Amino acid sequence: AIEVLDVAGNLIFMNGPGIRIMEVDDFETIKGVPFEAFWPEAERPAVRRAIAAAQQGETLRLTVFGPTAKGLARWWDLSLSPIRDGDGKVARLLALSRDVTEAKQNEAEVAAGARRLDYLARHDTLTGLPNRTHFQESMDAALLGLDPLRPLAVLSIDLDDFKLVNDTLGHLAGDALLRQVAGRLNGCIRARDLLARLGGDEFALLVPVTEPQDAAETAQAILAALTEPFEIEGETVSIGASIGIAMAPRDGASADSLLQYADVALYRVKGEKGRDFRFFE
């Protein structure tokens, strides 16, 4: 669209293609209207700045949102330039509006695809929980400058008898069980705790505590929640969990070492028939 404004910024001319793409039925009804009035309230300050720049002899280009006369949502690449008279004075303003809606939509889709790829890279697709990468990143951040008076507990959680469910009812039932387990675990934690699925039937929990007893109480709540039977595809399924706990900074100060020590405690519980928790020693 090609539009000409008077020096005050009022619309005095629009070309035929502009009238069509702006969906204007009768140009005479909008002739003389301030150009900024055609734009949504949120866009008017930017349009006013562009008009002021053209009035000062400069050209300004910007991307703005503005519906057509009939309300069709559109994005425009808008430029405003001065038109000078024979003495070099600014006598008119030239506005060029190019429809860039499709490009804007593509840009938004690419951005959404990227805020989606990043999510998938850091979350477990089955349960929606943070994955190992996300969990370790969060642990690293929490361990920076850790206050010894406000320790962190790392719980390594492994399901007991999960393989039996997979072998007898199939992998789809196993997946359904993991989703239900994730839901029950979420019910045992606070907003500031971080629950993750590390892979298979292995979960991990990062818990800010004031003393080890806080971590023990969380572990006991998890064991009680997972002891209750699950309903999977019309079948009643009973499982349990083994939990190993490592404390920072007492047991270590890095994410890798704390997860390793929590696993050591977990394996001790597994060796003693599971369905219990232990602290790393």
Cβ pair 247, 152 in contact under 8 A: yes
Q: Which residue has the tokens 């962190």?
A: 152
Q: Which residues pair with 205 in a beta bridge?
A: 155, 195
DSSP single-letter state for residue 148: T
Nearest to 146, CA basis, from 209, 64, 227? 209
Active site residue 124: no
What are 227's two structure tokens?
Answer: 């002891």
Q: With b meaning 16 or more CB within 10 Å and e meaning fewer, what string describes 183-201?
A: ebbeebbeeebbbbbbeeb
Separation of alpha carbons 90 and 45, rounded Å: 22
Of the CA atoms within 13 Å of residue 200, those in its CB half-sphere come to 10
- CB count in 10 Å sphere of residue 261: 23
The catalytic position among 158, 160, 201, 263 is 201
- For residue 265, the cross-strand partners are none
Per-residue b/e over 70-109, b at no fewer than 16 CB within 10 Å? eeeebbbebbbbbeeeeeeebebbbbbbeebeeebeeeee
Question: Which residues are part of the catalytic machinery?
Answer: 201
